[in-house]
Every structure is written in structure tokens, then in C-alpha cells.
Structure 1
């Protein structure tokens, strides 16, 4: 399978890879950006695309287009962590810049509880004011992707300088350990190590990450299994389930239905 298959599955490429422009990492030197991409898509007929959560918070600067039947003026959205699959409708022209952030980085930049954004999208102006709308308008006027990426990086540097850098060491540690274990480390162990009650640990984790620790761990495990399956689509499902800590094949299929909206076999068709 091609290396871009995983992005195709997640809906990142919006059907054709040549309509996506990836920003070079050098454009965001010193910033905690997972990825930044530009889209320029033209669909003569309405389409719906599968959206599979990937564990990042997204800042989307919509420059032009139609989304869910509504024509958009230049605007900016923040899309929180999702714990389920979804779809998105599109027809006509769509141009946008999407910045993917680690949830802890997003919390520092936005300064709001991340669980308020769970499974939702909110105008970024609610957090950063009218200047964000003006930024989206400027991005729409700029003719080249490198110049757009540079302007977005400038905005992120300004926000980073003003961000509250205080972090909760217990949550930061828990996130790191869940990622290291691909979501398999028992939540009870992390709660005990934090020194908090299980209830307080769950609340603090969800506030700073956007999902409760159990759901976040499930998403990490699913993402690892999806990556493996995208690399080797003929892989035996029972073996895949065992390799990633699922109780059995049925357990794996339930997670795929939840996060991808389809069982593995249909997803890869």
C-alpha cells in the first residue's frame, strides 16, 4: 500500500493528493506544530468524505468554499478532539489552511478547557477576537502557499509568546505514558501515580486533553492499529487484535466502527 494510504483513509487528502500542499517543517521552527497543510479543492458535484479522528486539535483557516451546503466567508475554526467517526460534505471550491496541534499545546494557546471542544467546532474568534477574522481575510488575499504558511506561523508565534506555559505535570506524564504504550497502560495505574483520586484525575485529564483518559487511550490504540493496517492491508485481523492489546477480533471491530465508522474490511475496500 502506498505511504499516503493512511492520510487517504483519514480524509486528509480530500480525494486527490495533488490538491494538498504540506508546509515544510522549517516554516514552523520553534513551534509545537504536528502538521500544517493547505487545501485547494474543486468538486463539481457534492461529495461526502469520511472523517477519522487522529488525536489532534485543528485550527482551520477557511479562505473560500462551501461546507455542509453553506457558502463561507474567510473565517477560522478550532476543531476539538473527536471520539467517534464523522463525515463532511463539500461541493464547489474549497481553499483552507489547517494546522494540527497536540491537545496540550492547543490548551496553552487557547487558554480554555479542552473538553468544552469535544466533538465540536467553534469559531477561533471566540478565543482570540476579531484579529483572527482579519487574519483569515489576509490569508485569502495572499496568492502563494509559502506566504500563507509564514503568516500562520507568525500568528502562532504571537500566541505562543502570550500563552500560559504552566502545565500540570501529572497530566503531561500521563499523556506521554499513554502514547508510549499505545493506549494500553491501565488508567488506574496513571491515576494512582498522579496522587489524585480516580475521579479528580479523570476530570483534570479531560479538561486539559479534551477526552477522558480511557477514551484517549482507546483512540491511541485504534490509531496505532489503523496505521499498521494501512501499511499491511492483508494482515490477519485476529493477529492485529492481539498485537494491539484488544481482547479479541470483535473488540477491534467495535473500535473501528466507533472511530472509523466501518469495520476494517469495508474501510479498506
Structure 2
């Protein structure tokens, strides 16, 4: 697997976490790969062969070749049908909502074709330009021009949304929402509503995903650490709480995750 990341232009670094590419040679024994939540929204262009996403043990869809993958709250399996070549844009949790008129919670746990979000002609023109570009720098130039044009229509993100996300990221998901809303029930309801509109999941869900990201990174990069140490370092109540949340978002226990043949791709992202 060849996975690479690239940083955005300074005009876009407030909305884009990174660009990434993934290339995997064609093989007769491609395994299903489990994808776990990471708190981000991604726009992806499948430049290689088709990729299946399983919706049950034996049912699947073919992912659109130009799509937006919204927030995911449960793990799912994908399986390439040949050569993997993907170019993608990873957005911060709140930022993609400013680029579209579609409610962001409509994108949760689904792949949405670009045509449904930006119109058929705009999406087709962008897709063709990305597919015909000669290399990754050229694709980045194309997508940045497109996104900058969309930012001219951007609505200012509600300050409480930005404040909450900043606090959750800075604390690795551990800032209590009550502390942000100053124990005000009306402000908390407003925050929950705005999150559903602009992030697609609740503040609590995002905090859990961000905390799991920290724990996953520690697990993969410090394999000799005890689960209890990782749990406490990640601010879980105890080891049982850590394992319960881990299973919720990955589908397996921490011990099963390490070296699991279906977790190779997710492990690559977190390492």
C-alpha cells in the first residue's frame, strides 16, 4: 500500500485537514478492509478499479467514483475489485457544511455522488478534470480552485460550533459539553441542533470518536503498553469503558484489532 498525505493551501487550511492518496496494486486475493469512524467528512475520487462497500454480510454496493463520504458512526467493510487508486480530501468535522445546501446529517453513514450536492454539470466538469489530471499536484490545484470558488458562498460557522470542536480536538475529545454550554440547557439544545445541521453527528459522538482516535494511535504505536494504561491516558473511566467504546466504533476488541487482516487499511491511517 502506498498512502500519502498533502497539506492544503493556507486559504483552505481552516476547512481541510489534508489531501490523501492511496495506491494498491491489483491482486487476486484482496481482502475486505474494515473502515472505522474518524470524525471527518471526505470527498473521494476513485481513479482505479471499482470498490465494493458491504451493507450486510453478503450484500454490497459499488461506491460512486466521485463522492462525499459523510460522518460514519459504525464500522463498515470495503473490498477493492482490482487496482486501487484514490485521491481524496479530508475535511474538518464542521467545515464541509459551509460548501453545500444539503443538510449535513443527510450524508451520515452514506456515500453521496457529487452530482447530488453540486449539480450534474458542475460535478461532471470537476470529476473529468480530476480524472484527466496528470498527477496529484495537478489534482490539488484543480480541487483548490473549485473549493475557493465555493467559499465565496460560505456562511460563517456559528461560533459555538467552532468553539466546541476546537475544545474537543484540544482535549482529545474529553471536554464536557456541559462545560462549554455553561450548564445552560437552552444553549445545549441549540448546540445539539447546530451540530446535526453542520457536522452531522452530536457533540458527544464527535468527542467519543476523537478520544478513540487518540487511543487507536497509542495502541498502534505503543503495542507494549497495557490496555489499562492506554485507557487512563485517553481519559476513559476504566478499561471496560475503553473496550466498550472501542468495540462500538471498530467492531472488535483492542487485542483483536492489532494485526487483524481486515484492519490493515485503518491501521495504516492511524499510524
Stretch of structure 1 that moved more, 175-184 or 98-107: 175-184
Q: Residues 46 and 66 of structure 2 are in contact (CA less than 8 Å); yes or no, is this contact kept in structure 1?
A: yes
Gaps of 5+ in 2: 53-59, 260-271
| Corresponding pairs, count | 248
Paired with 1:194 and 1:111, the residues of 2 have a C-alpha distance of 29
Residue of structure 1 aligned with 2:149, choices 153, 158, 175: 158
Paired with 2:144 and 2:187, the residues of 1 have a C-alpha distance of 39
Change (3 A) 1:29 1:180: closer
Stretch of structure 1 that moved more, 52-61 or 29-38: 29-38
SS in structure 2 of the partner of residue 252 of structure 1: helix
Residue of structure 2 aligned with 1:35, choices 11, 18, 31: 18
TM-score, scaled to structure 2? 0.83
Please state how far the C-alpha of 1:110 moved relative to its aligned partner: 2.1
Please state how far the C-alpha of 1:168 moved relative to its aligned partner: 0.9
Give the structure 1 partner of residue 267 of structure 2: none
| 1:7-46 alignment, distance < 5 Å | 16-17=1-2, 20-23=3-6, 25=7, 28-32=9-13, 33-45=16-28, 46=30
Gaps of 5+ in 1: 1-15
Q: Residues 242 and 248 of structure 1 are in contact (CA less than 8 Å); yes or no, is this contact kept in structure 2?
A: yes
Please state how far the C-alpha of 1:58 moved relative to its aligned partner: 0.1
Paired with 1:197 and 1:142, the residues of 2 have a C-alpha distance of 47
Q: Quick check: 1:213 aligned with 2:203?
A: yes
Please state how far the C-alpha of 1:184 moved relative to its aligned partner: 1.6
TM-score, scaled to structure 1? 0.84
Residue of structure 2 aligned with 1:137, choices 128, 131, 153: 128
RMSD of aligned Cα (Å)? 2.2
